[in-house]
Amino acid sequence: MVNKTLLKKYANLLIKTGINVQKGQDVLIFADVCAVDFVRLLVKEAYKAKANEVRVIWEDDEITKTRINMGPLKTLEEFTSRDKAEMDYRVEKVPCMLHILSSSPESLKGLNQAKRLKIIQKRNVFLKPYRDELDNKYQWCIAGYPSKEWGKVVYPHLKASKAQEELLKQILFVSRVYEDPNLEWEKHNNNLINQCEKLNALNLVSLHYKSSNGTDFKVGLMKEANWLGGMEITKDTKIKFNPNIPSEECFTSPKKGVAEGIVYATKPLSYNGELIEDFYIRFKDGKAVEWDAKKNKDLLTHLLNVDENAKYLGECALIPYDSPINNTNILFYNTLYDENASCHLAVGRGFTNVIKDYDKYTNKELEEMGVNSSSSHVDFMIGSKDLSIIGTDINGKEIVIFKDGNWAI
């Protein structure tokens, strides 16, 4: 089994470098019931960091599936006084939020996805103002601790417990846990910041992606936007945190309404507990206008119809094909890991904090600059061994950003 000392180091990394708990802060941990042993370590580490209150919100895919499939739609759509009290608490206390991913990529197979979409759309009307109010104000982190079922998907030839153990070892490896993880993340963050500074100095206004699988796609960038990577900083309290562990990306939000061409996914996408495979999306005037998938096209359609802006892009992320995650030669079947193996895009919500001095603008002003506003944000992977990306700067000069899947700058 994985050494308990390593798991303690991982828990410490997520509390100290991930959400970076400060004395007196509240902490919310969202986790699957299968991760209870690891969550116990997280709770201890959070209290060691002088957290005020640590609360665990447990999740279980089978219960979720039963609740959505069998529960009354009217009840599931309702935004109750209990929901309001919870969101009012989050706005008042601004707790740190740690999300632990454990589910199998097809854990919700058999879920009534059409019903779930209706629930999401109805509840998002009430939740969006709270999300807008909390945007950039709190520390959050997403990380993984695999279930046996997830391990079995990645390592189908192994027994379930052994598959879980092997996948956990890989997660610890790509999360830089085997040495001094907090120090390693400090170094890694500095490397990502340096790469972002190179990109920011280019003053790019567009990117043109091409690869032999058929991807031929051009996207516009906002002149007011920066490239970011790794560590982020909260808006009011200026606390550093790492929203994803692991992360290998330099990212920005593209300009809403400026995207033309077609992109082909290079890895399956696990969405709402099911896999979407072998798909493409075609964009015109910045909006997804055509798409198809060999598996779960209907689910891809639901994804793009969560709200009126879910068909627009919210993120462009650059990751070399020669990355630590891709070099494991493992398909994780989990977006947190697979999106950090090579380049990806996201449809839906853009990031307001990429805008220079974003805290001086209203949400409406940020949207007018070109930041897409949506209740959804879904990443999908487009990186390949022969991907080329040509940037164009404000003077019309073309610059090779990626060649053969890797950095050219």
The rounded radius of gyration (Å) of the Cα atoms in the chain is 20
Chain centroid to CA 299: how far?
Answer: 19
The per-residue pLDDT for range 290-318, each reduced to its tens digit, is: 999 999 999 999 999 999 999 999 999 99
In the CATH scheme, what is the code of domain 4-174?
3.40.1830.10
Q: What does pTM read for this prediction?
A: 0.95
Token digits of residue 195: 């790469």
Helix, strand, or coil here: 308?
coil
Q: Which two tokens stand for residue 87?
A: 């969101």
Instruction: Using pLDDT thresholds of 50, 70 and 90, give the confidence band for residue 65.
Output: very high
Q: DSSP per residue over 232-246, as a string? A: EE-TTT--EE-SBSS
Per-residue pLDDT of 92-123, as tens digits, reads 999 999 999 999 999 999 999 999 999 999 99
- Round to whole Å and give the CA distance between 144 and 129: 29
Q: Which two tokens stand for residue 92?
A: 């008042």
| Structural contact between residues 382 and 215, judged by C-beta atoms closer than 8 angstroms | yes
Contact yes or no for 266/288 (Cβ under 8 A)? no
137-155: pLDDT as tens digits: 999 999 999 999 999 999 9
Percent of the chain with pLDDT strictly greater than 70: 100
Residue 1 is predicted with a pLDDT of 72
Domain boundaries, the chain: 4-174, 181-407
Average pLDDT of the segment spanning 256-275: 96
pLDDT of residue 93: 98
Which amino acid would we find at residue 356? K
Give the integer Cα–Cα distance in Å for 299 and 83. Answer: 27
Please write the tens of the pLDDT for every residue from 3-13: 899 999 999 99
Cα 266 from Cα 261, distance rounded (Å): 16
- With 0-12 CB in 10 A as exposed, 13-18 as middle and 19+ as buried, what is 308? exposed
The predicted-structure confidence for 381-394, as pLDDT tens digits, reads as follows: 999 999 999 999 99
Side chain identity at 342, as an amino acid letter? S
- Write the CA distances from 379 to 16, 198, 337, 350, 370, integer angstroms: 26, 24, 11, 11, 19
Residues 6+ apart with CB under 8 A from 238: none
Residue 200 host element (H or E): helix 181-201
Find, among 398, 401, 373, the residue nearest to 250 by Cα: 401
Band of residue 45 on the pLDDT scale cut at 50, 70, 90: very high
Distance, CA of 104 to CA of 217 (rounded, Å): 32
- Find tokens 């695999």 and name the residue: 146
Query: How is 3-34 classified by DSSP, letter by letter?
Result: -HHHHHHHHHHIIIIIS-PPTT-EEEEEEEGG
Please report the pLDDT score of residue 325 as a whole number: 96
Mind listing the pLDDT tens digit for each residue in 198-212?
Answer: 999 999 999 999 999
CA distance 52 to 194: 35
Mean pLDDT calculated for residue range 162-183: 97
Q: How far is CA 210 from CA 320, 376, 384, 385, 402, in A?
A: 15, 26, 10, 11, 10
* Strand ordering across the sheet containing 140-144: 53-59, 26-32, 96-101, 140-144
Give dist(CA 370, CA 350) in Å, integer: 9
pLDDT at position 170 is: 97
Percent of the chain that is helix, strand, coil (3-state, to 5): 35, 30, 35
b/e string for 227-238 if b means 16 or more Cβ within 10 A? bbbbbbebbeee
Strands 140-144 and 250-252, sheet pairing: unpaired
**Residue 302: predicted pLDDT:** 96
* pLDDT band of 362, cuts 50, 70, 90: very high
- Among residues 56, 96, 346, which one has the least CA distance to residue 241? 96
Pair of tokens at residue 4: 């308990």
Packing angle, helices 36-48 and 4-13, rounded to 10: 50
Q: What pLDDT is recorded for position 260? A: 98
The whole-number average pLDDT for the span 385-408 is 98
324-346 mean pLDDT: 95
Q: Report the percentage of the chain scoring pLDDT > 90.
A: 99
Amino acid residing at 59: E
What pLDDT is attached to residue 2? 83
Within its chain, how far is the Cα of 13 from the centroid?
Answer: 18
